[in-house]
């Protein structure tokens, strides 16, 4: 089974900050990685697919990069509405999610 290690588990940042979350795969997953945002009480929402492609309708301040085992998710210019938990998800072999990163406003 492929394990996904996401860090940090939580972080606090100010409006306008650049925020970075990392996801490490236990083996090479090529670019088979997606990122989701989940706001409290809501279902998750796809933001980034195939490691770096922005889903239609998602603001351009969200971006993703990486391949192989190391991946990065960035919010360039944090907005109050970005308060949520973010998950990475691999699909190279079935599906595994990272543990999630809870993002709070400082």
Partner 1 sequence: QVQLVESGGGVVQPGGSLRLSCAASGFTLSSYGMHWVRQAPGKGLEWVAFIRYDESNEYYEDSVKGRFTISRDKSNNTLHLQMSSLRAEDTAIYYCARDISSTAPDAFDIWGQGTMVTVSS
Q: Return the number of other C-beta atoms located less than 10 Å from residue 42's C-beta.
A: 9
**Which of the stretches 12-20, 61-69, 73-81, 90-98 binds partner 1 when contact is defined by CB under 8 A?**
90-98
**Which of the stretches 18-26, 35-43, 64-72, 73-81 binds partner 1 when contact is defined by CB under 8 A?**
35-43
> What is the size of the binding site for partner 1 (CB under 8 A)?
22
Q: Which residues from 60-79 bind partner 1, rule CB under 8 A?
A: none
Tokens of 46: 């796809």
| DSSP-H helix ranges across 5-78 | none
Beta bridge partners, 15, equal none
Contact 62, 45 (CB under 8 A): no
**Which of the stretches 23-31, 48-56, 59-67, 72-80 binds partner 1 when contact is defined by CB under 8 A?**
48-56
Contact 32, 76 (CB under 8 A): no
87 lies in the binding site for partner 1 (CB under 8 A): yes
45 lies in the binding site for partner 1 (CB under 8 A): yes
Decide whether 32 or 72 has the Cβ nearer to partner 1.
32
CA 84, 1, 91, 31 torsion-angle sign: positive
């Amino acid at each position: 089974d492929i394990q996904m290690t996401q860090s940090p588990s939580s972080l606090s940042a100010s409006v306008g900050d650049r925020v970075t979350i990392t996801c490490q795969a236990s083996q090479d997953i090529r670019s088979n990685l997606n990122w989701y945002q989940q706001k409290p009480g809501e279902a998750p929402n796809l933001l980034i697919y195939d490691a770096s492609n922005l889903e239609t309708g998602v603001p351009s301040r969200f971006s993703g990069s990486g391949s192989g085992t190391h991946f990065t998710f960035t919010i360039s210019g944090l907005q109050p509405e970005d308060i949520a938990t973010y998950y990475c998800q691999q699909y190279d072999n079935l599906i595994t999610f990272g543990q999630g990163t809870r993002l709070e406003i400082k």
